[in-house]
Amino acid sequence: MTREKPKPGQVKASEAGKEKILEKIQEKEWTKGDDSEALTVASQKLFKKKIENFTDDKEQINIEELKKRIKSKLIFNDYTYQSFLDEIEKIESKNNKITINKCLEIIESKNVRFKGISYNSSWKKFYNGNYLDKDIFKAYWDALELGDWRDYIDYPENSPYEKSDRNSEKLLTGLSLFNHKSQIKLLEKNFPDPTLAFLISKHPCSFSQIWLLRRLEAEIKTYNPKNFKVYSLNNTLYLESKKIIRLQDIKSVVDTLDFAHIIYTCDIDQISLQELQNYLQIYENLIEYIKNLPTIRPGKIFIYFLVGQNANNNCYQELKSKQEKLEIIELHQTSIDEYQRNNLLQDEVSDILPKIAAHLNKGKLSDEEKNIAAQLIKEMKNEITAEKLLKVIYRYFNCYFGYETTTFAKWTNYP
């Protein structure tokens, strides 16, 4: 018999897991065929996960924005894609918004299937104990309401895939402590202020950019209170969510500061001059309001104005004109190749390795940190980038860094 060869990032049900799956299918009175309700429920769960920043089924979504997301992310299987679009376009002729709950109803009524969800490609493999992409496996597992899946799976032998999602999260936390000393000094110097705005030049490498933002967040967490909320001012869908603390809702912002810090990001490459002027005026009003409060709140407000090479020049000039009045602090990016050019990269990597090991409860490393750091840098083969460094570190700690993983998304998107 030919042994099944899994791809990186795939998992399968163990013998105990298969038994649990089959028992639950029988209990729910679902079939094991291509008409199983599991395919519908799994598709609904994956759809909700893809429509980022929405957790409430009653939320209204702009249909044009939804169509863009569906088309750009290739959410549905090719043979069911059009039936979903046809239905939402019927609604669009009368209303430009739709609820997530209505989308889930369409998925059910029209048998729309999320990409990767079908009888042959995944469902029968799931209950037969064959390897599947982790996200597809979890969608079926959750559809059956089986609880925690981690104790019921087998991993490929010598797999680079991390055997626990918790470890990937811990690794990200450890990596978020990487250097950026000059930027952290600026943050610490100004931290006593109740509101802080930063003008941050975007780096061409998104990994370098996100690394800086995660480093700032990690430092903010070291101050009480450790609770924090992060929001983007650019995502129009996100801003429609009732769960966001809108910058303009001054009372809600101040109430939140009783227990949490709030971080807002604003990419000025993606907004008009009028939008930027509105945000700056709201921020100015917020500063004045907080100054007049009788007591100082423990939480603070942080705004990151991200400026790229393609930034609207009028927006950039507007920010510069308000920089002194609003005390906007310029924060310059430090890239991985700069560390290498200054012969600092090996020291910085060797410094972060024991911190990562501590987060992963690995204990003492098997070799001197500097030796490990030198080997990791050598593995990059003169391709000194943040992405390459992240990959070799994830591989060293036996964690998977695939393009379709949540881990990868957290290093390419913020928040």
The mean-pLDDT minimum among 65-74, 125-134, 312-321, 337-346 falls in 65-74
CA 123 to chain centre: 27
> Is pLDDT of 73 > 70?
no
pLDDT (average), residues 107-136: 91
What does the pLDDT look like over 160-203, one tens digit per residue? Answer: 444 445 677 778 888 888 888 889 888 888 888 889 999 998 88
β-bridge pairing 97-99 and 195-201: unpaired
Three-state SS sequence of 363-412? CCCCCCHHHHHHHHHHHCCCCCCHHHHHHHHHHHCCCCCCCCCHHHHHCC
pLDDT of residue 8: 62
CA distances from 407 to 132, 170, 317, 331, 410 (A): 18, 11, 36, 26, 5
Rounded Cα–Cα distance for residues 176 and 393 (Å): 13
pLDDT of residue 58: 54
pLDDT (average), residues 337-348: 84
Helix (H) / strand (E) element for 12: namely: strand 10-13
Task: Give the SS3 label for residue 138.
Answer: helix
> Is pLDDT of 229 > 90?
no
Q: How many C-alpha atoms does 94 have within 13 Å on its Cβ side?
A: 5
CA distances from 91 to 66, 95, 198, 244, 385 (A): 12, 6, 42, 26, 46
What does the pLDDT look like over 396-405, one tens digit per residue? Answer: 887 767 655 6
Tell me what percent of the residues of the chain surpass a pLDDT of 90: 26
End-to-end CA distance of the chain: 47
pLDDT of residue 173: 84
Token pair for residue 193?
A: 């202020």
Q: How confident is the model at residue 408 (pLDDT cuts 50, 70, 90)?
A: confident
Q: For the whole model, what pTM was predicted?
A: 0.61
Which residue, 126, 120, 121, 124, is CA-closest to 153?
126
187-333 CATH: 3.40.50.300
Helix (H) / strand (E) element for 229: namely: strand 228-232
pLDDT of residue 66: 81
β-bridge pairing 228-232 and 60-62: unpaired
CA distances from 198 to 96, 145, 202, 249, 327 (A): 36, 44, 12, 21, 9
Give burial (CB, 10 Å; 0-12/13-18/19+) of 216.
buried
Which residue, 173, 175, 172, is CA-closest to 336?
175
> Is pLDDT of 55 > 70?
no
Mean pLDDT taken over the chain: 83
Rounded Cα–Cα distance for residues 48 and 102 (Å): 12
pLDDT of residue 160: 41
Count of H-run helices and E-run strands, the chain: 19, 10
Whether 415 and 243 have beta carbons less than 8 Å apart is answered as: no
Rounded Cα–Cα distance for residues 138 and 167 (Å): 17
Q: Where in the chain is the domain with CATH 3.40.50.300?
A: 187-333
> Is pLDDT of 292 > 80?
yes
Whether 300 and 339 have beta carbons less than 8 Å apart is answered as: no
pLDDT of residue 311: 62
pLDDT (average), residues 206-234: 83
The mean-pLDDT minimum among 60-74, 168-182, 341-355, 370-384 falls in 60-74
Reported for 172-176, long-range contacts at CB under 8 A and 24+ positions apart, including other chains, are 172/214, 172/407, 172/410, 172/411, 173/218, 173/359, 174/352, 174/355, 174/356, 174/357, 174/358, 174/359, 174/360, 175/211, 175/214, 175/352, 175/356, 175/390, 175/393, 176/211, 176/214, 176/215, 176/217, 176/218
Whether 24 and 144 have beta carbons less than 8 Å apart is answered as: yes
Rounded Cα–Cα distance for residues 255 and 229 (Å): 13
